[in-house]
Amino acid sequence: MSVTDIVLVLFTLLLLAYAIYDEFIMGTRNGKTQLRVNLKRRNRLDSIIFIGLLAILLYNNIHSNGTAITNYLLIGLGLIAFYLSFIRWPKMLFKPQGFYFANTFITYDRIRSMNLSEDGVLVFELEQKKLLIRVNELDDLERIYKLMVNNQ
């Protein structure tokens, strides 16, 4: 295996581990999930560019008679990137003690204020930063509000 193949295996395994954690493990941590809210997808252009660059690398490797394992690794990395970018939904999981946002667990006592902007963006103000939460469906904002009122 060349250094390129080792790097491709490393990145493929890291992305696969992240996908498994995000889909299966995160929901079981820190108690039972009380509410699951799908968020809007962002950075699609970045994902398209990344997958396009992988396609260019695959094309270049095929035409320069590169190894077959490099082709398979590039295809695998592209499939995982496609899954993470276009199939999987970013989500927010509400637990009894806090919530997961961007794969970070935030306890309810860290929230200083909660506001709703005119364009439907929910803003949680923490000690040092603000979380901008863009939900996929506006009905989810009411469900979040009811859950937050019950937990406070």
What is the predicted pLDDT for the residue at 73? 93
Mean pLDDT, residues 75-86: 92
What is the predicted pLDDT for the residue at 152? 63
What are the pLDDT digits (tens) for 16-38? 999 999 889 988 888 888 889 98
Question: What is the Cα–Cα distance from 141 to 93, expressed in whole angstroms?
Answer: 13
| CA angle (65, 71, 76) in 5-degree steps | 175
What are the pLDDT digits (tens) for 89-147? 889 999 988 889 888 898 888 888 888 888 888 888 888 888 888 888 888 888 888 88
Question: What is the Cα–Cα distance from 51 to 81, expressed in whole angstroms?
Answer: 7
* Predicted TM-score (pTM) of this structure: 0.80
What are the pLDDT digits (tens) for 47-69? 999 999 999 999 999 999 888 99
Tell whether the model's pLDDT for residue 42 goes beyond 90. no
Taking each helix axis as running N to C, give the angle between helix 68-82 and helix 44-63, from 0 to 180 degrees, rounded to the nearest 10. Answer: 170
Report in angstroms the alpha-carbon separations of 74 from 21, 45, 50, 98, 152. Answer: 22, 19, 11, 38, 48
